[in-house]
Amino acid sequence: MSVFRPNAVLQRTRLLSGEAGVRGALYRSEIRLENAPRQVAPGQFFMVRASGGGSDPLLPRALSALDYDPRRGVLHVCYRLYGAGTAALAARKPGERLEVHGPYGNGFDLSEPQKKQTIVLVGGGVGVPPLYLLAKELSKKHEVLLFQGAKAAAELLLVPDFRRLGVKVHVATDDGSKGFSGRVGELLGEHLSKLAALRPAPIIYVCGPHPMMKDVAARSKAAGLVCRVSLEEKMACATGICLGCVVLTEKAGAKKYVPSCTQGPVFDACEVVW
Amino acid sequence: MKRRQSAKPAKSPKAPAPDLSVKVGKLSLRNPILGASGCVGYGEELLEFFNPEKIGGIVAKSISLKPRLGNPTPRIVETASGMLNSIGIQSVGVESFLKDHVPHIAKYDTAFVASIFDEREDDYCELARILDKEEAIDGIEVNLSCPNVERGGITFGVEPALAASLIEKVRKATSKPLWAKLSPNVTDVRVIARACVDAGADALSLINTITSMAIDWRARRPILARNTGGLSGPAIKPVALRMVSQVHEALPEVPLVGIGGIASGEDVCEFLVAGASAVQVGTANYANPRALPVLVEELSDCLRAEKIARAADLTGTLRLNSVPSAH
């Protein structure tokens, strides 16, 4: 007997890139939730654990919503196999039960973009999925551009899905196998002066590996553009009690560690101490 | 992989609900299940998940005299059936604790124990004096055992003379129930336990986390920013049970609060049998924010299935095997 009660069912898992079961592989899963929330805001995340009732893995993994169907209560997530938690999730078969709780986090503020404001999304790796849900909302009323970076063409995520929303997609790959050869920050840099000249000036939303977010935050600041980052920190509780996922922020000269689970994961890039 | 079958006891509709109330020294608790310090925030964070009147109480995250920033990140990493943390007592300071945080939980009829931590004896005493005046605080736990800060904390908890001196001074600063939280990172936990009790502690909480390391071999680096951290979770339960049993055997009259990897009602029963009057639950709250009230239900189910009328009747009922001398 255990306090862990599985409350969700894995519907299906697809391997998106890499080799099944091998570190680095990218997966997409659909999970049906019992007591499904009425809505999930872009940038919010769920805690997902595939333990089979045992104590290994002990902690759930924080996974951002890639998409959410409130009618059927189906959550879509995307994750990279990295350690025990994601390996256990990738090994689950359709119909098997999972423990899922959420949604958590502030999510992106959908009321922030003004009328006719262009939206610039910058994503890399498993930072791309939450931007998809954001694009789904914002593309209804705004012009949306996506700059996506990946190691290689095979790791680019959801490109056709973004295009179906009418998003203009620019890609960068480290090995040059598709699009711009180099870092996505450099690719953004080539467009930035033109984008910064737009009125109203665009908002930049970023989610991806830490060095990429740091780079894009610095470029946005230099161009005088508002930049919101969705940070990816290791989490244990998601409720603000463990203080494991804290981010060092600075407001009015005062430095403070704040939990990214409850006060984030979306932050004003200018407040983060990079 | 086959799902582990849980041995859920059959509920008999006729059996009356067991009496879960317990006492830790003078402090009466609705049931023996408390949220462990450092794992339930200041209590208010869990209010959206359950009514704290369903559990025995909350031991708040350790509070220092002045605000403390805490350690750099990464601060946590999962390990086999456990996790390491090196938070380093990130604290809002006692003033903000009393003004901004305690009022949220003070409204509820549940035990609220403050945990104190600082770098110097005088700071611990000042904290105890300040908290002593607060009606909302039902007890004070002295954190002698945080493994993640350079000064204070564990330096008191691994030296019997320092522990005794600190507890003696804090005892003079408060008339509230005083608990000493012991470190497992010692050769013989009974020596420190006795020193704290002789110095005036009303009860002992054990164990804090076990100093540990996790390594990223590819990077040739420890995973945590401060290299080491404290291990918690089911991985440490056997260590905690051994220590609770040892201290109970050495000091049978002293109330003990068992801590370490509790994740089921059965685990709670094991700690009670080993000698604990109550337990604190920490890491389980991370996997499930509703863990505490679920554990209360599970404990009740366990007692009912075994026809045990009162949770308190289990405390210290362990019968150690007689060990034949080696041939």
Chain A from 194 to 233: CB within 8 A of any B CB: 233
Cα-based distances in Å from A199 to A119, A195, A202, A203, B121: 12, 9, 8, 11, 61
| Tokens 């009690």, located at residue | A241
- Are A244 and A237 spatial neighbours (Cβ–Cβ below 8 Å)? yes
Give the confidence band of B155 by pLDDT, cuts at 50, 70, 90: confident
Say whether B287 and A241 touch across the interface (CB within 8 A): no
- The percent helix, strand, coil of chain B (3-state, each to 5) is 35, 20, 45
Would an 8 Å CB–CB cutoff place A49 in contact with chain B?
A: yes
**Distance of alpha carbon B100 from alpha carbon B270, whole angstroms:** 37
Indicate the average pLDDT of chain B: 93
Burial of B318 (0-12, 13-18, 19+ CB in 10 A): middle
pLDDT at position A3? 61
Closest to A189 measured CA to CA, from A222, A167, A150: A222
**H or E segment and range at residue B281:** strand B278-281
Mutate to test the interface with A, among B4, B37, B66, B75 (most CBs of A within 10 A): B75
**DSSP one-letter code for B181:** E
pLDDT of residue A51: 86
Partner residue opposite B78 with nearest CB, options A59, A245, A257 = A59
**Residue A99 DSSP label:** E
Q: Give the distance from residue A5's alpha carbon to the nearest chain B alpha carbon, in angstroms.
A: 9
B301 interfaces chain A, CB cutoff of 8 Å:
yes
DSSP state of B100: I
Distance of alpha carbon B234 from alpha carbon B259, whole angstroms: 11
Q: Which of A25-34, A150-159, B142-151 has the lowest mean pLDDT?
A: B142-151
Contact of B312 with B22, CB cutoff 8 Å: yes
- B45 touching A (Cβ < 8 Å): yes
Look-up: residue for tokens 């959801």? A158
What mean pLDDT comes out for the span A57-67? 95
Q: Round to whole Å and give the CA distance between A141 and B123.
A: 57
List the catalytic residues of B.
Answer: 146
Q: What is the mean pLDDT of residues A92-96?
A: 95
Report, as an integer, the average pLDDT of B136-164. 84
Residues B171, A161: Cα–Cα separation, whole Å:
65
Pairwise CB contact (< 8 Å): B45 & A239: yes
Average pLDDT, chain A: 94
Name the pLDDT band for B8 (thresholds 50, 70, 90). Answer: low
DSSP A126: G
Residue B33 has pLDDT above 70, yes or no: yes
Mean pLDDT of A145-154: 96
Spatial separation of the C-alpha atoms in residues A149 and A180, rounded to whole Å: 9
The answer, yes or no, to whether residue A47 has pLDDT greater than 80, is: yes
- Are the CB atoms for A231 and A203 separated by under 8 Å? no
Two tokens, residue B243: 């220590």
pLDDT reading at B5 higher than 50: no
Q: Are A237 and B77 within 8 A, CB to CB?
A: no
What distance in Å separates residue B14's CA from the closest CA in chain A?
22
Q: Tell me how far apart the alpha carbons of residues B192 and B158 are, in angstroms, rounded to a whole number.
A: 7
Are the C-beta atoms of A48 and A108 separated by less than 8 Å? no
DSSP assignment string, B203-229:
EEEE--PEEEE-EETTTTEESSTTSEE
CB contact under 8 A, B73 and A99: no
Nearest CA in chain B to A257: B69
* Angle, helices B291-305/B265-274, rounded to nearest 10 degrees: 70
Partner A contacted by B69 (CB < 8 A): yes
Instruction: Please give the structure tokens belonging to residue B228.
Output: 């080491």
* pLDDT of the residue at A35: 85
Candidates B265, B287, B294; nearest CB to A58: B287
List pLDDT tens digits, range B290-317. Answer: 999 999 999 999 999 999 999 999 999 9
Mean pLDDT value across residues B19-32: 97
Give the burial string for A208-221 (b: 16+ CB within 10 Å, else e): beeebbbbbbebbe
For testing contact with chain B, the best of A9, A10, A23, A58 (most B CBs within 10 A): A58
A window 55-74, beta carbon within 8 A of B: 55-60
Radius of gyration of chain B (CA): 19
Q: Go through A56-74 and write b for each residue having 16 or more CB atoms within 10 A of its CB, e for each that does not.
A: bbbbbbbbbbbbbeeeebb
Across the interface, whether the CB atoms of B90 and A234 are under 8 A apart is answered no
How confident is the model at residue B150, as a pLDDT? 62
For A198-249, what is each residue's pLDDT tens digit?
A: 999 999 999 999 999 999 999 999 999 999 999 988 999 999 999 999 999 9
Nearest to B6 among A2, A240, A243 (CB): A2
**What string of DSSP letters covers B4-66?**
PPP-PPPPPSSSPPPB--EEETTEEESSSEEEPTTSSTTSGGGTTT--GGGSSEEEPPPB-SS
Given this model, what pLDDT does residue B148 score?
Answer: 66
Task: Report how far apart, in Å, the C-alpha atoms of A230 and of each of A125, A131, A198, B60 are.
Answer: 13, 9, 24, 30
Is the CB of residue A256 less than 8 Å away from at least one CB of chain B? yes
Q: How many CA atoms lie within 13 Å of B199's alpha carbon, on the beta-carbon side?
A: 25
- Cα–Cα dist B305/A46, whole Å: 35
Query: Quick one: closest CA in A to B76, which residue?
Result: A244
Predicted confidence at residue B3, as pLDDT, reads 43
Instruction: Identify the CA nearest to A147 among candidates A115, A174, A178, A123.
Output: A123
* Neighbour-count burial of B168, counting CB atoms closer than 10 A to its CB (0-12 exposed, 13-18 middle, 19+ buried): middle
Sheet bearing B82-85, strands edge to edge: B76-79, B82-85, B228-232, B210-213
Task: Report the residue of chain A nearest B296, measured CA to CA.
Answer: A3
Asked if B51 and B73 touch (Cβ cutoff 8 Å), the reply is no
Q: pLDDT tens digit string along B185-202?
A: 999 999 999 999 999 999
Nearest CA in chain B to A233: B74
Q: Is the pLDDT of residue B1 over 70?
A: no
Would the pLDDT of B240 be above 80? yes
Is B234 part of the contact surface with chain A (CB cutoff 8 Å)? yes
Residue B50 has a CB neighbour count (10 Å cut-off) of 16
Query: CA Rg, chain A, in Å?
Result: 18
